[in-house]
């Protein structure tokens, strides 16, 4: 964390863990427990309990938790973005020292590269959205429910079809690719994503695992795009909202300009929409 | 106590006998004399042989005209309920259940939510166990009082009997059972209390522990006890009912007891993870809810967050954005309901309101969003939930025996709890669960299952209970999850200092008294010794106030005004006395005229004050039963407040901090030597040298909350063993104590000389 990180100053006492108490063996509690046959280091409970291998570490020592005073999500780390990129090379080296196979290392490296590329692309080029037009081959047309407008993915490299199957990984991942779009339209929320390539990458990973484990549970990945972004684009994907359709197709800026652009878009929308113009000029239709 | 009870029952018997004198056959107490005739005459249970019945037999009895338990004809409502009962998933496995039940003494039963286990299994047992023929009862424990009450009501309706007769419930301060009761729902804590007076639980022929997967403290101890009781009572049958599939641990613990699993009636739930960790889970949660509202089909949303403040904040944001969405994009109406424990009941009730209707006919359907703590995870079932948003955190109680701090902290949930949360989406139809973390985080960062309460709590009251239950070898008491040795060590030490345990570890008279109070031992000891300080009335009020949620309300928008109002009650010597002032003012005639308005004007929580009133009267009853004198010092006496502060020391002498020589308002806790700060909410006017605190709040800065200034002389006088000067290391605290001891000695000497 650099100088710009949040400053936290806390005074830590001389003995925050109270080791003085922990180490003392003269207390009343220690005496009574020893007289009942407890020895330091052993667990409480029945001798040779049948369920002994179900016990957790919390039976040996109190539960330790880290104090959390921020809103950081589960698994997120502060300063993850600014991870020094040069470490990648060392990862390979360290992996080799730890006895990982070459193939594995290559795979890891490839994954890292993919992430970097995806991040780069997401930052550089705003995504282009497409609407699904069904499959070229018409064989399974019947399986597709009434045309639900949906966003297709704007993949620059990966095959769309492959991804479509991945979205519906249930126990029969290997099911025919042809009915994939049908399923996909069911779970259309998944296809709202800003960084598609990232998504598909992680999906691929998951897929490997889940198919091998053959879990019943469905697993899918969902990217939470900026709410503004997805909200407006979702609305446009519904056929009845015609007015906004053209607008939200525009390039949406990132970062702090999001809210500003939203206001601009609102104003534009108001000007281009006859109904609201009438309202502004107080003309009764 | 046991004697008292049988006395009172005797009284009831005498009365009833008079009433039923006309027909002794109707007298329930003489039922055993007529039973054989009855059974052979008209009961459908006539051919039933105890522990040899089958589902077919029971079905016939259930389909009959006469209720075999009450002897009255079945009503038409009974048959309509019976039809729905037969559709429950457990019903298909009734024979299988009966076989296992008959064959084994302990049975582990696993049924997911919606299987009907809580209402049906006890009835299956009744038709096979026939407790009325043995003069015994069937008990079914619940972790929560509300559940015990509502389930008993439901089962009474299903069996077509009056609640309180054949089917009853028993919870703390309310006993809804009668002489005819054969099926008794109760809280697990109640059964534990009964075990104190009746170690063999001889009133029961079958005991069911329901919701055992919740692993409350009382359930855990009961399981340990029952393991011992089944050896002494081979006729007692035990059923452990759990909702989790992780029943192996239960089986192993109960000597490889047989297992019966019944699938629940749930719909598939699709689970989504985020591809990357979220930087701000609250913001991500709000966004996800809005996104669901914009893009997903009809169905209500349940969002789990950690605490009151967070929930209110997120609810506001969602409501605002939802309104904007309605205005700008013609989204369906969105209604947001917060839900947390300290919310007033009528507000909690609102979550059951149906989702708002579309704004115009044919418009987009409305949706309700419930933003809840983890009480919606198990305790409450809300129908209509289709989407669950789970950020993966909850507030959990944690106890650290080293620094003796019990606190509620935000920490990651467990895998089991995440699955439970997801399951909430599939109650009415197929649903979706959005987890705001990666699948990797789910696998790596979450523990398997939530730690049971016994591993997360201060054990001093539990140890007292166990001692009262006759468990002397605490080290080898067979618990399913034995607590950390240090936790037990601390509990023993605390009880010894409080004089609840003598130096050999035996229960003292004081300890026996203290265990009768449903309070922390420190509070109980303070209450019991308060007559010695001539202020038992006041200490009783303070105890009640300390056992309820915060009485002072501080809305974010009106902080300044709220603080001004609080200062009206402030006592310069500390928060305990301030709370007492509030209570006295609340009880005054002026306030009682319109308590609601009065509390509202003064930024006080009427609900907290009301429940304090309630707790006070309940504790008063116990004190009267124990012949503890209720006295007060005259208010005009200048010792009025001093006596109260002294009495506080009698219970809380282990929670004292001394001003540190270092910084401003820096304090150091006695013996444990932790650096603490006075909580900003304190009204303590001067920087007292020694303070007593009620609560140690663990954050990045450690605070002590609810503090009162005390004098070291009192501490030396009241708790000489704890404040044994020789046990303190050389330093500030020791020299301060030595000085106080000298002052005390000088005073003694002067007094002695005066007398001479």
- Nearest CB partner across the interface for B476, out of A28, A36, A73: A36
Residue A104 domain-assigned (yes or no): yes
Cβ atoms within 10 Å, residue A101: 10
- Decide if B481 and A244 are in contact by the 8 Å CB cutoff: no
- d(CA B621, CA B616) in angstroms, rounded, equals 9
Q: Tell me, what's the pLDDT at A86?
A: 59
- Decide if A36 and B473 are in contact by the 8 Å CB cutoff: yes
Give the SS3 label for residue B397: strand
- Residue A235 forms contact with B (CB below 8 Å): yes
Of A148-152, B156-160, B161-165, B350-354, the one with minimum mean pLDDT is: A148-152
Structure confidence by residue, pLDDT tens digits, A204-256? 444 444 444 444 444 444 444 444 444 444 443 444 434 333 334 445 555 66
3-state helix, strand, coil in chain A (%, to 5): 50, 0, 50
For range B645-664, the mean pLDDT: 90
Structure confidence by residue, pLDDT tens digits, A161-196? 444 444 444 444 444 444 444 444 444 444 444 444
Residue among A74, A169, A207, A209 with most chain B CBs within 10 A, to mutate: A74
The set of residues, in sequence order, having a beta carbon less than 8 Å from that of B437 and lying 6+ positions away, is A73, A74, A75, B273, B274, B277, B278, B391, B392, B445
Residues B524, B530, B531: CA angle, nearest 5 degrees: 130
Specify the domain boundaries for CATH 1.10.10.2130 within chain B: 458-516
- d(CA B140, CA B145) in angstroms, rounded, equals 12
A236 strand-pairing partners: none
Quote the crossing angle between the two packed helices B117-129 and B145-158, to the nearest 10°. 60
Residue A114 domain-assigned (yes or no): yes
Res. B109 pLDDT band, cuts 50 70 90: very high
- Decide if B480 and A60 are in contact by the 8 Å CB cutoff: no
Q: Tell me, what's the pLDDT at B43?
A: 64
User: ipTM of the assembly?
Assistant: 0.80
Strands of B112-203 (E only): list them: 137-142, 167-171, 174-176, 183-187
Task: Look up the pTM and report it.
Answer: 0.75
For chain A, the residue count is: 285
CATH topology of domain B269-454: Rossmann fold (3.40.50)
Specify the domain boundaries for CATH 3.40.50.300 within chain B: 35-262, 269-454
CATH topology of domain B458-516: Arc Repressor Mutant, subunit A (1.10.10)
Residue A176 domain-assigned (yes or no): no
- d(CA B248, CA B522) in angstroms, rounded, equals 38
Residue among B489, B665, B670 with most chain A CBs within 10 A, to mutate: B489
Range of the structural domain that residue A95 is part of: 87-123
| Domain total of chain A | 1
How close, in Å, is residue B271 to chain A by CA atoms? 6
Residue A29 domain-assigned (yes or no): no
Residue A26 domain-assigned (yes or no): no
- Decide if A62 and B486 are in contact by the 8 Å CB cutoff: yes
Give the SS3 label for residue B667: strand
Q: Tell me, what's the pLDDT at A247?
A: 38
| Better-scored residue on pLDDT, B455 or A88 | B455
How close, in Å, is residue A148 to chain B by CA atoms? 12
For range B493-505, the mean pLDDT: 94
C-beta of residue B644 within 8 angstroms of C-beta of residue B574 = no
- Residue A142 forms contact with B (CB below 8 Å): no
Q: Tell me, what's the pLDDT at B742?
A: 94
How close, in Å, is residue B699 to chain A by CA atoms? 7
For range A264-275, the mean pLDDT: 73
Cα-Cα-Cα-Cα dihedral sign, residues B241, B399, A33, B650: negative
CATH topology of domain B35-262: Rossmann fold (3.40.50)
For range B584-605, the mean pLDDT: 93
Structure confidence by residue, pLDDT tens digits, B21-41? 455 555 555 555 554 444 444
Residue A60 domain-assigned (yes or no): no
Q: Tell me, what's the pLDDT at A81?
A: 52
């Amino acid at each position: 964390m650099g100088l710009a990180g949040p400053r936290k100053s806390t005074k830590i006492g001389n003995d925050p863990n109270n080791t003085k108490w922990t180490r003392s063996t003269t207390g009343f509690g220690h005496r009574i427990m020893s007289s009942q046959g407890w020895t330091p280091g052993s667990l409480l409970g029945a001798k040779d309990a049948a369920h002994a291998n179900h016990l957790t570490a919390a039976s040996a020592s109190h539960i330790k938790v880290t104090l959390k005073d921020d809103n950081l999500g589960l698994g997120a780390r502060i300063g993850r973005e600014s991870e020094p990129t040069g470490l990648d090379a060392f990862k390979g080296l360290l992996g080799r020292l730890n006895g990982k196979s070459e193939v594995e290392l290559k795979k890891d490296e490839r994954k890292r590269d993919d992430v970097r590329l995806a991040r780069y692309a997401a930052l550089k080029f705003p995504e282009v959205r497409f609407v699904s037009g069904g499959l070229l081959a018409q064989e399974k047309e019947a399986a597709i429910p009434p045309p639900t407008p949906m966003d297709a993915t704007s993949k620059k490299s990966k095959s769309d079809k492959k991804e479509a199957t991945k979205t519906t990984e249930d126990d029969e991942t290997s099911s025919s690719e042809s009915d994939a779009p049908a399923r996909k339209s069911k779970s259309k929320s998944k296809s709202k994503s800003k960084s598609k390539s990232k998504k598909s990458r992680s999906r691929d990973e998951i897929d490997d695992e889940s198919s091998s484990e053959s879990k019943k549970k469905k697993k899918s990945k969902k990217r939470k795009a900026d709410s503004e972004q997805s909200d407006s684009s979702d609305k446009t994907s519904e056929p009845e909202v015609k007015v906004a359709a053209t607008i939200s197709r525009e390039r949406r800026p990132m970062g702090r300009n999001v809210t500003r652009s939203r206001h601009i878009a609102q104003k534009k929308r108001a000007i281009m929409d006859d109904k609201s113009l009438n309202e502004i000029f107080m003309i009764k239709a | 106590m046991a004697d008292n009870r049988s006395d009172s029952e005797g009284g009831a018997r005498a009365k009833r006998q008079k009433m039923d004198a006309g027909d002794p056959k109707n007298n329930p107490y003489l039922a055993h004399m007529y039973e054989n005739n009855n059974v052979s005459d008209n009961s459908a249970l006539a051919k039933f042989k105890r522990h040899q019945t089958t589902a077919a037999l029971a079905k016939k009895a259930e389909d009959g005209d006469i209720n075999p338990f009450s002897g009255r004809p079945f009503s038409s409502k009974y048959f309509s309920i019976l039809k729905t009962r037969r559709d429950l998933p457990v019903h298909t496995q009734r024979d299988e259940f009966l076989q296992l039940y008959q064959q084994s003494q302990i049975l582990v039963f696993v049924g997911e939510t919606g299987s009907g286990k809580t209402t049906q299994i006890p009835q299956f047992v009744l038709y096979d166990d026939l407790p009325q023929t043995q003069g015994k009862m069937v008990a079914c424990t619940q972790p929560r009082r509300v559940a015990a009450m509502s389930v008993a009501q439901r089962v009474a309706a299903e069996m077509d009997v009056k609640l309180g007769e054949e089917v009853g419930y028993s919870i703390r301060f309310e006993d809804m059972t009668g002489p005819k009761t054969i099926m008794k729902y109760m809280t697990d804590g109640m059964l534990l209390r009964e075990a104190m007076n009746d170690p063999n639980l001889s009133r029961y022929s079958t005991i069911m522990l329901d919701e055992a997967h919740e692993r409350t403290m009382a359930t855990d101890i009961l399981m340990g006890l029952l393991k011992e009781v089944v050896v002494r009572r081979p006729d007692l049958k035990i059923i452990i009912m759990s909702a989790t599939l992780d029943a192996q641990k239960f089986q192993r613990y109960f000597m490889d007891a047989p297992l019966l699993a019944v699938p629940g009636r749930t719909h598939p739930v699709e689970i989504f993870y985020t591809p990357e960790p979220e930087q701000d889970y609250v913001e991500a949660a709000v966004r996800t809810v809005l996104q669901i509202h914009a893009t997903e089909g009809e169905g209500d949303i349940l969002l789990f967050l950690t605490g009151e403040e967070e929930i209110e904040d997120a609810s506001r944001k969602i409501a605002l954005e939802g309104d904007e969405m309605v205005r700008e994009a013609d989204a369906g109406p969105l209604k947001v309901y917060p839900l947390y424990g300290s919310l007033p009941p009528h507000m909690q009730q609102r979550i059951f309101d149906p989702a708002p209707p579309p704004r115009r006919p044919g418009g987009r359907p409305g949706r309700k969003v419930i933003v809840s703590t983890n009480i919606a995870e198990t305790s409450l079932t809300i129908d209509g939930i289709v989407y669950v948003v789970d950020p993966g955190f909850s507030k959990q109680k944690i106890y650290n025996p080293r620094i003796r701090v019990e606190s509620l902290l935000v920490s990651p949930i467990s895998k089991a709890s995440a699955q439970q949360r997801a399951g909430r989406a599939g109650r009415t139809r197929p649903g979706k669960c959005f987890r705001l973390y990666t699948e990797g985080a789910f696998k790596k960062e979450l523990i398997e299952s939530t730690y049971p309460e016994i591993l997360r709590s201060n054990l001093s009251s539990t140890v007292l209970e166990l001692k009262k239950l006759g468990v002397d070898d605490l080290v080898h008491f067979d618990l399913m999850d034995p607590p950390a040795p240090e936790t037990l060590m601390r509990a023993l030490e605390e009880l010894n200092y409080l004089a609840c345990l003598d130096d050999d570890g035996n229960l003292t008279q004081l300890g026996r008294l203290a265990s009768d109070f449903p309070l922390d031992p420190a509070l109980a000891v303070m209450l019991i010794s308060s007559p010695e300080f001539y202020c038992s009335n006041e200490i009783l009020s303070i105890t009640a106030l300390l056992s309820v949620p915060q009485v002072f309300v501080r809305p974010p928008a009106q902080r300044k005004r709220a603080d001004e109002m609080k200062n009206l009650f402030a006592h310069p010597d500390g928060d305990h006395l301030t709370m007492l002032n509030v209570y006295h003012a609340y009880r005054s005639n002026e306030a009682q005229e319109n308590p609601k308005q009065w509390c509202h004007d003064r930024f006080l929580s009427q609900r907290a004050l009301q429940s304090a009133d309630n707790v006070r009267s309940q504790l008063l009853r116990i004190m009267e039963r124990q012949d503890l004198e209720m006295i007060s010092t005259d208010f005009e006496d200048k010792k009025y407040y001093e006596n109260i502060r002294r009495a506080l020391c009698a219970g809380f002498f282990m929670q004292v901090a001394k001003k540190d020589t270092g910084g401003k308002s820096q304090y150091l806790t006695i013996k444990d030597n932790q650096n603490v700060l006075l909580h900003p909410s304190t009204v303590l006017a001067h920087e007292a040298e020694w303070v007593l605190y009620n609560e140690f709040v663990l954050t990045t800065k450690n605070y002590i909350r609810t503090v009162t200034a005390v004098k070291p002389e009192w501490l030396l006088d009241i708790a000489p063993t704890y404040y044994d000067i020789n046990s303190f290391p050389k330093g500030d605290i020791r020299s301060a104590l030595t000085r106080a001891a000298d002052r005390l000695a000088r005073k003694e000497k002067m007094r002695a000389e005066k007398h001479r």
